[in-house]
Amino acid sequence: MLIFLEPHITPDQRRALDNAVRGAGCTTTETPTPYGPFLVVEGDLDRLRQLPLSVFGGVRKTVALSKPYRLHSREHQADPTVVKLGDVSIGGGGFTVIGGPCAVEDDATLLETAQAVKNAGGHMLRGGAYKPRTSPYSFRGLGLDGLRMLRDVGQQVGLPTVSEVCDPRHIEACMSNVDMLQIGTRNMSNFDLLIEVGKSGHPVLLKRGRSATIDDWLNAAEYILAQGNMDVVLCERGIRGFDPATRNTLDIAAIPAVRERSHLPILIDPSHATGHPAYVPPMAKAACAAGADGVIVEMHVRPETALSDAEQAMLPEEFRDLCEDLRLLASVRSSRRL
């Protein structure tokens, strides 16, 4: 790190700065330039970064020459992370399709939906049991009963399952019933929850917060990784935008931006991103062409009976056609290394 000093830094200011830097386990070498003196700082830069250097008197500017060490980074791990859920892999070159209803509603509907996912060639089953809803008076999910339905149906049909967890007190129940824990967009910065799913060691699908930058999101993943749980899959699901034409703004460039920074796999959720079933196929194909590791898509066998997000659910036959297109695209992608 470099610290540029004001030309007129006082001896008291200089002493306070030196003490703080030394206190953080660092040493400095001063170099004069025509623009004023600056200090080259060496030592425990991670501790130094905790200091609010910019509020010290006499400091003009600090320049970081290195990035802090992060488990999510390409510098830490060059090879892509592959998360395994039974026979299914996410990351590493394949393209994983997760389908299912927004919310688990009843045994029969879930089974019918899961069979449609399986028949279409989908790889995993999604379904919410604990549903965060904008209004407290909306359907908030079946809770534990929903988790059990998901487990039973997943096993019956032969699809690994993923479901959202919102409360640290529900993690154990989720872990014992589903194969992957989803952290939703509303809880991306619920750090206590992230730490607990990190400790659980269970695979995690981490959705991006609606107003989170890529770096905010990777730091949220870091909360999980720092607990020793490396099975983290990122999921871009649209960020807050200004155009009501879509429910959110799908930040498709998050795919290359994440790839450049991190070894973690990244999925796209075109259903929440757009809010329109007709926009889901083009966005899912865009995700594949742009190099995503998969998609997670909402599908319902009878949307008019759905208890949540009916407007954005695809029908089974639409889902089947999409899966076929995605298989073709993914095979072109892998054969030609698009």
Q: Which parts of 222-281 interact with a copy of itself (CB under 8 A)? A: 222-223, 226, 239-246, 249-257, 260, 273-274, 276, 278-279
What is the Cα gyration radius of the chain? Answer: 24
**Is 6 a residue that touches a copy of itself (CB under 8 A)?**
no
Angle at which helices 191-200 and 214-225 cross, to 10°: 40
Residue nearer to a copy of itself on the CB measure, 57 or 92: 57
Q: Both tokens of residue 94? A: 């394949």
Residue nearer to a copy of itself on the CB measure, 83 or 212: 212
Contact 93, 86 (CB under 8 A): no
Q: Both tokens of residue 149? A: 């339905």
Query: Going residue by residue from 88 to 117, which x/- string records binding to a copy of itself, judged by CB under 8 A?
Result: ------------------------------
How many residues in the chain?
338
**Is 173 a residue that touches a copy of itself (CB under 8 A)?**
no
**Which secondary structure element, helix H or strand E, spans residue 280, and what is its range?**
helix 280-289
**Is 56 a residue that touches a copy of itself (CB under 8 A)?**
yes
**Is 139 a residue that touches a copy of itself (CB under 8 A)?**
yes
Contact 220, 194 (CB under 8 A): yes
Q: How far is the CB of 27 from a copy of itself (least distance, A)?
A: 10
**Pairwise CA distance, residues 168 & 49, whole Å:** 31
Q: How far is the CB of 194 from a copy of itself (least distance, A)?
A: 8
Query: Computed from CA positions of residues 286, 238, 227, 204, in that sequence, does the dihedral angle turn out positive or negative?
Result: negative
Point out which span in 85-93, 114-122, 152-160, 305-313 binds a copy of itself (CB under 8 A): 305-313
Query: Going residue by residue from 61 to 80, which x/- string records binding to a copy of itself, judged by CB under 8 A?
Result: x-x-xx-x------------
